[in-house]
Amino acid sequence: MPKPVVISIDAMGGDHGPPVVVPALEIAAKTLPDVRFLVHGDEAALNAELARAPAARAVCTVVHTDKSIAMDEKPAQAMRRGKGSSLWNAVEAIRSGQAAACVSAGNTGALMAISKLILRMSADLERPAIVASWPTMKGISAVLDVGANVESDADQLVEFAIMGAAFHHAVHGSTRPTVGLLNVGSEEQKGHEEVREAHRILQDSPHFDFDYRGFVEGTDIAYGTVDVVVTDGFTGNVALKTAEGLARFFGNEIKQTLTAGPLAMLGALIASGSLKKMKQRLDPGRVNGGPLLGLNGIVVKSHGGADANGFASAVRVAVDLARSDFTAEIDRNLKRLTAEKDQAAKDDGADGAETQGADE
């Protein structure tokens, strides 16, 4: 029998708290074998919900706290007064070895700051990144960073490529993920200095566990041109929010068009099966769950407004990562990158010594 995977849950975060989190755990308990949950939050509220969720109740241990972090609380304030909160305790369970991963729909800035404080960054990584799973014409792509870092230099973009490829392999099953750098054009002279330098590093490092394909443009995200799209957090967050807004716009337009009159409604009835499939494919909840990559532990951020199905999707992401060699794959590629940088520095030093000797 495989050892059960324990997932730590911040049950008080997000817009809804226990009324959504517990039904989500009921879904997860029925679909994910050998998984247990440490559920942090108000014991009375959680037990009331668990009384209506027998599958979840059988695999959940409630860890009581009456303290929580507000969705609008600033990260600095959350770090000062957050100790003992449901969010803090959920992350702390990873460091203490009680859980393999954590899921929270709480305040993103607070979750990022507290996770970084408690778990620290993995060796050789500068900054964490948030990755989003993005429905495309060819399947699911991973896009990062989507909000953790407003600006990113070339080395950080390369790190995002390594982390994003490991994530796509672990969660979406790609054997050798394809990776592209988001740019304003596919030509090598396009873009600012940092993205061009990141392109050079990735192009000159052929020994990664992924297939680097060069620059991609905004339209390539929806096309699914590559499995992993790498960009800074400012650009990634704007792209993500734009896509979410467009999805709602098109959904609303389709609904209005199909209810405009009797013939339109009849057409909608005939096409109801196909429309339902399209709605499911474009449902953000189906791919909900953005891991905070680069930490010494697995922390998954659920959308604050996610419903039970959406939160259950975030739990599945946490379980998939916990069962994978995700961190080992990142470590392997970082060591390869460091070795190539060290060799390049030695080669440059040797070339410099030869030039000096020739001059003398």
Q: Which two tokens stand for residue 20?
A: 């959504």
pLDDT at 128: 84
Q: Which two tokens stand for residue 111?
A: 């979750």
Give yes or no on whether 1-120+295-324 and 125-287+327-360 have one common fold: yes
Q: What are phi and psi of 5, to 5 degrees?
A: -90, 130
pLDDT above 90 covers a percentage of the chain that reads 42
Residues 6+ apart with CB under 8 A from 298: 94, 100, 101, 102, 291, 318, 321, 322, 326
- Give me the residue spans of the domains in the chain: 1-120+295-324, 125-287+327-360
Residue 111 or 276, more confident: 111
- Omega before 145 within 30 of 0, i.e. cis: yes
Q: Which residue has the tokens 């993103």?
A: 108
In the predicted model, what is the mean pLDDT of residues 207-228?
90
152, HSE (Cβ side, Cα atoms, 13 Å): 33
Task: Look at residue 59 and tell me whether its pLDDT is greater than 60.
Answer: yes
Q: Which CATH superfamily is domain 125-287+327-360 in?
A: Isopropylmalate Dehydrogenase (3.40.718.10)
In the predicted model, what is the mean pLDDT of residues 93-105?
95
**18 with 10: CB under 8 angstroms?**
no
Residue at 96: amino acid letter: S
In the predicted model, what is the mean pLDDT of residues 34-42?
95
Instruction: With both helix axes pointing from N to C terminus, report the angle between 43-50 and 18-31 in degrees, rounded to the nearest 10.
Output: 50
Task: Look at residue 1 and tell me whether its pLDDT is greater than 60.
Answer: no
User: Quick one: pLDDT band at residue 343, thresholds 50, 70, 90?
Assistant: low
In the predicted model, what is the mean pLDDT of residues 12-21?
92
Torsion sign across C-alpha atoms 13, 18, 22, 23: negative
In the predicted model, what is the mean pLDDT of residues 138-165?
89
One CATH from 2.40.30.10, 3.40.718.10, 3.40.960.10, 1.10.3720.10 for 1-120+295-324:
3.40.718.10
Find the farthest-apart pair of alpha carbons in the chain and give their distance in angstroms, rounded.
91
Task: Look at residue 179 and tell me whether its pLDDT is greater than 60.
Answer: yes
| Neighbour-count burial of 258, counting CB atoms closer than 10 A to its CB (0-12 exposed, 13-18 middle, 19+ buried) | middle
The pLDDT tens digits for 273-330 are 666 666 665 555 566 788 998 888 999 999 888 889 999 999 999 999 999 887 777 7
